[in-house]
Structure 1
Amino acid sequence: MNRKLTLFTFAFVATYYTTLPLLAQQTNPKTPPVAGVDKRYIDEVKALGDQPAVKKAFQIFVDLEPQTKQDHLNLTETPSPPFKEGVRAKKYAAMLKEAGADSVWIDEVSNVIAKRKGRSGKRTVVVESHLDTVFPEGTDVKVKYKGDTLYAPGIGDDTRGLTAILAVLKGMEKAAIETDADVLFVGAVGEEGLGDLRGVKHLLRKGSQKVDSYIAVDGDGISSIVHRGLGSHRYRITFKGPGGHSYGSFGIVNPHGALGKAIHYFTTEADKVTRQGVKTTYSVSVVGGGTSVNAIPYESWMEVDMRSESPEKLNEVDQLLQTAVQRALTEENGMKRQGPDLTVDVKKIGDRPSGKTEQTTAIVQRAMAVTTYMNATPQLEVASTNANTPIALGIPAVTIGSGGIGGGEHSLNEWWLNDKGYLGMQRILLLLLAEAGLDKGTTASGTKAGARR
């Protein structure tokens, strides 16, 4: 036997068997290595995915695709303008009831809440999407087709989310999946714009039912995990004076002068403090006032937006705005030659809390493990969603996507494409079961082992 060949063979075999475990790990589609995910959560999610009832639900989501599409179209074509979500709320409540929820109600602010009782009911898990769109009353919301792509205002944000959690409820019912915790399926009002998260703020208000974990469904895809809430403060600031003729009343206070000074002082100082540290933004977004080129205005106003995931940084920029406004008021009044003083009205029109659910928290770890199980790469992100409120209250919370591919949010050309959209429901279900607990009453065959109700 050739000695060189023998040595080569030995080296090859040794190398092969040394690297085999690594190769297996890299090629196993169910357990790709992901930094920051505790192995116990990977194992937990895999065990859930191996349950016959869960596999049955996964197939049900595929089989339900035609009905899910019809639900999506029906909800999209039901207008839900800001502060006028009532019509869609009634329709969604009826759909949740038909899907098999134990009880369904619409609360004082028009949130739709469907309860599916858990075996013990010792904990409560919320899975939620928002009912409202950004589009005003009268917007044409008829769905249009371009090939397989659906176009309509609000079709993705967040009508798809509503459709997804409705399908999850249907899948759980049809597969006879029981949870240990109670689950609330929620369609919330007031997520967009000046809605200021009013639906979730009401849902989680002091004295309301205790919620142990919160899963918001917003956006598309199966990779994103929002665990940091991007907080915002929004103001409408109005300087007011007597107004008058540009020549005959010359010397009275001019609200535009004060507004210009306030913008200058605010943006100059805000620029300095936002150049370092956690990303923090500010914008003088809308201005108005005045009646004619030959008239001194009686009012001048602006709307200001500031955002940060750091409460401290957000408050710092907020204080700069307050200081700039008062400085501008004092200086403009100091310039007057006649008439009354200028006044200012500072009104907060938006207050979205900020905060973070730590990456080491169980719900974030589970979301990452579920995403990994779905053969996707977890993407930890910061955003302004309904999860902001529970995060700020210390309730473990994340926002995940609803599957498929979409774009053009908040535009009339918003679109959504059903590219394996059922994966979104599978991901939501796995995370929900990880949080709510798969009850032993769910039998291996996927049939109920006793009454839940």
Structure 2
Amino acid sequence: MKHITLGILMTLGFSTCSVFAQGSTEIDKKYSKEVDRLYKSKKVKEAFSHIRSQMDETTADLITLTEVLAPPFMEDERGKVFAKMLEEAGVDSLWTDKVGNVIGLRKGTSGASGYVGVDAHLDVVFPQGTDVSVQKVGDTLKAPGIGDDTRGLAMLISMLKAMNKAEIKTEKDLLIVGTVGEEGLGDLRGMKYLFNESGLDIDSWIAIDGGSLGRISNAGLGSKRYKLLIKGQGGHSWGAFGLANPHHALGKAIDIFSKDAWAYTSGDIPKTSFNVGRIGGGTSVNSIPFESWMEVDMRAIDPKNLDEIEAIFKNSVEKAITQYNASGVRGEVDYELIKIGDRPSGELPASLPLIQRTMAATKLFGETPRLGRGSTNINIPVAKGIPAVCIGRGGQGGGAHSLHEWYLNDEEGDESIQLALLITLSEAGLDK
């Protein structure tokens, strides 16, 4: 069956990591002082030096990981490579959980319960068969997935190596994690398992994803995704003319939903969006299809609006199928709605210690903290009220989610690893 991409986007704002949340970026002096002391400590400075000196190793790790393709639900091989890197860099224990998350535990000294987690996601958006060979053009690396989020995985390995070389001990236990299922239909399954089923007592979470330094997500952009499947008898385009046609019914569903949803999103409400991303079905140009389908993405800042746009979608489909079957066609079509994605919304206050520390650390690197909202791994802890932030991977890059994705490591690239380490240590506590 041939898949067709339909570029219909009706939106008042959409993004994965770049929609800015509300919230003051004012930093409490006590957190500025705390992070500044940490930044100036001898062991942290030594770790920063190791991060700079192992840049070539980090680039080699990035290339190795990039060239192991990892679509959602097929992250196993990359997970094995990442696990080997964690083991060689040095963790106290290492395991792959039930859904495929690769977890390295670095024990703290306090014996206190509750983990601090730091992660990057293993999966990329590209399907099996995609050529992920890394091409070097000067200092620029080109390959699908090299930035999003393979660079984040390489950063975790660099952080771990630097902590061990500098003999840094944290007060709290650290979980260093390569998560599965962040992209697309993966639907944050790795994080859902960690926070809902794993039994791990997680106090706070730091995700590495997205772009430049200074970008800090403290809020989750919720989304609901559905596949609408419409079925009919099917037949010859001439001999069975007049028979109910699933494609025609699908067209009516798109038309009614687009009108009703556009009227809703154009109102005085927080940003809400809807998108028909893919359609498909049929066997030939001269056949009435027996099946037609589309995939729909809806997003909203406010959980209430997300529920309401979902209700509009369901009502629109019901209305469209009822009207089509009553239009005089012979026979009728029926339909099925299959939920293929559900990411919760939520927002954490900027006053939380983790967010304060993240902003203070960001400022020490000469960047202006920018609080934002995204559809990332932190959606899950944020919706549960667990402190979490998503930070950028630094460097220069472009073409994310495309075959011409590229990444260039520059001074900001090393600083992004140092920043991630500083935030992690400020949250976990540096053992003196």
Give TM-score scaled by structure 1 length: 0.86
The answer as to 2:260 corresponding to 1:269 is yes
Task: For 1:195 and 1:381, locate their aligned partners in 2 and report how far apart those are by CA, in whole Å.
Answer: 22
The answer as to 2:63 corresponding to 1:84 is no
Shift in CA distance, 387/257, structure 1 to aligned 2, threshold 3 Å: same
The answer as to 2:205 corresponding to 1:214 is yes
Task: For 2:376 and 2:59, locate their aligned partners in 1 and report how far apart those are by CA, in whole Å.
Answer: 25
The answer as to 2:408 corresponding to 1:408 is no
The answer as to 2:256 corresponding to 1:282 is no
8 Å contact from structure 1 (residues 254, 332) kept in 2:
no
Which residue of structure 1 lines up, in the alignment, with residue 333 of structure 2? 342
8 Å contact from structure 2 (residues 25, 350) kept in 1:
no
Task: For 1:358 and 1:319, locate their aligned partners in 2 and report how far apart those are by CA, in whole Å.
Answer: 29
Which residue of structure 2 lines up, in the alignment, with residue 59 of structure 1? 49
The answer as to 2:408 corresponding to 1:417 is yes
- Which one has the largest radius of gyration? 1
The answer as to 2:178 corresponding to 1:187 is yes
1:35-64 deviations in whole A, cap 9, x for unaligned? 511111111110111211111111111111
Task: For 1:265 and 1:199, locate their aligned partners in 2 and report how far apart those are by CA, in whole Å.
Answer: 35
Bigger CA drift: 351-360 or 107-116?
Answer: 351-360
Q: CA RMSD in A?
A: 1.6
Identical columns (%)? 51
Which residue of structure 2 lines up, in the alignment, with residue 119 of structure 1? 109
Which residue of structure 2 lines up, in the alignment, with residue 74 of structure 1? 64
Task: For 2:310 and 2:86, locate their aligned partners in 1 and report how far apart those are by CA, in whole Å.
Answer: 41
Structure 1: give runs of 5+ residues left out of the alignment: 1-33, 441-453
Which structure 2 residues correspond to residues 196-275 of structure 1 after superposition, within 5 A? 196-206=187-197, 208-275=199-266
1:314-355 deviations in whole A, cap 9, x for unaligned? 11111000001111121122234543x321010011112221
Letter in 1 for 2:216: I
8 Å contact from structure 2 (residues 25, 369) kept in 1:
no
Task: For 2:69 and 2:251, locate their aligned partners in 1 and report how far apart those are by CA, in whole Å.
Answer: 39
Task: For 1:35 and 1:88, locate their aligned partners in 2 and report how far apart those are by CA, in whole Å.
Answer: 37
What is the DSSP-based 3-state SS (H/G/I as helix, E as strand, rest coil) of the residue aligned with 2:148?
coil
Task: For 2:161 and 2:337, locate their aligned partners in 1 and report how far apart those are by CA, in whole Å.
Answer: 48
The answer as to 2:335 corresponding to 1:313 is no
| CA shift for structure 1 position 136 | 1.6
Letter in 2 for 1:71: D
What is the DSSP-based 3-state SS (H/G/I as helix, E as strand, rest coil) of the residue aligned with 2:404?
coil
1:354-383 deviations in whole A, cap 9, x for unaligned? 211222222111111110011111121111
| CA shift for structure 1 position 247 | 4.3
Task: For 1:415 and 1:110, locate their aligned partners in 2 and report how far apart those are by CA, in whole Å.
Answer: 27
The answer as to 2:345 corresponding to 1:354 is yes
Task: For 2:116 and 2:157, locate their aligned partners in 1 and report how far apart those are by CA, in whole Å.
Answer: 15
8 Å contact from structure 1 (residues 253, 335) kept in 2:
no
1:265-315 deviations in whole A, cap 9, x for unaligned? 211111122123211110112222233444332222111111122211111
Which residue of structure 2 lines up, in the alignment, with residue 38 of structure 1? 28
Task: For 2:109 and 2:349, locate their aligned partners in 1 and report how far apart those are by CA, in whole Å.
Answer: 29
The answer as to 2:163 corresponding to 1:178 is no
Q: Which has the higher contact order (CA 8 A, sep 6+)?
A: 2
Task: For 1:230 and 1:417, locate their aligned partners in 2 and report how far apart those are by CA, in whole Å.
Answer: 28
Task: For 1:76 and 1:325, locate their aligned partners in 2 and report how far apart those are by CA, in whole Å.
Answer: 41
8 Å contact from structure 1 (residues 252, 336) kept in 2:
no
| CA shift for structure 1 position 166 | 1.0
Aligned residues: 406
Letter in 2 for 1:261: K
Structure 2: give runs of 5+ residues left out of the alignment: 1-23
Shift in CA distance, 161/35, structure 1 to aligned 2, threshold 3 Å: closer
1:384-407 deviations in whole A, cap 9, x for unaligned? 111111111211111001221111
